[in-house]
Amino acid sequence: MKPSQIYYSQNSINERFDNGYTIYATLNACKNHPFVIYEIPPIRVCKKDGKWYTLDNRRLWVFKRLEEQGHVDSVRIKQVSPSLLTAQKFTTTNGGESVEIRNRTDWFF
């Protein structure tokens, strides 16, 4: 599936993954070492109101940038139950079109 066909489920994301890497460092690693792309787990998606939403908003942010820059055409996905997209996790206020990045410390792309 194309990253551009997947929508964000949250209105904001932290810039850091749980492993401590930033979304920017991950983006750069994927651009400079394409094999890294295959080390990233599939993006979990579910269908809600006719649109595919992700539960992995930071990963989606990285893959959307990679698609925009011509580094990927598609992303591996794992379809999950819409019940995982709880009201607490579904915070988008713009239909999942964009996401705000919180706690920005790494401004180098």
80 and 45 in contact (C-beta within 8 Å)?
A: yes
Helix extents (H) in 1-109: 23-32, 57-68
Residue for token pair 């579910």: 46
At residue 107 the predicted structure's pLDDT band, cuts being 50, 70 and 90, is low
Structure tokens at 67: 């698609």
What are the residue boundaries of the structural domains of the chain, listed by start? 3-92
92 and 5 in contact (C-beta within 8 Å)?
A: no
Taking the C-alpha atoms of residue 24 and residue 27, their distance in angstroms, rounded to an integer, is 5
- Please tell me the predicted confidence (pLDDT) of residue 103: 79
pLDDT at 106 exceeding the cut of 90? no
Return mean pLDDT, the chain.
94
Give the predicted TM-score (pTM) of the model.
0.92
Taking the C-alpha atoms of residue 101 and residue 104, their distance in angstroms, rounded to an integer, is 7
CATH number listed for the domain at residues 3-92: 3.90.1530
pLDDT in tens, 32-50: 999 999 999 999 999 999 9
pLDDT in tens, 11-31: 999 999 999 999 999 999 999
pLDDT at 55 exceeding the cut of 70? yes
76 and 43 in contact (C-beta within 8 Å)?
A: yes
For residue 33, the SS3 value is coil
pLDDT at 108 exceeding the cut of 60? no
pLDDT at 97 exceeding the cut of 60? yes
Structure tokens at 80: 């999950």
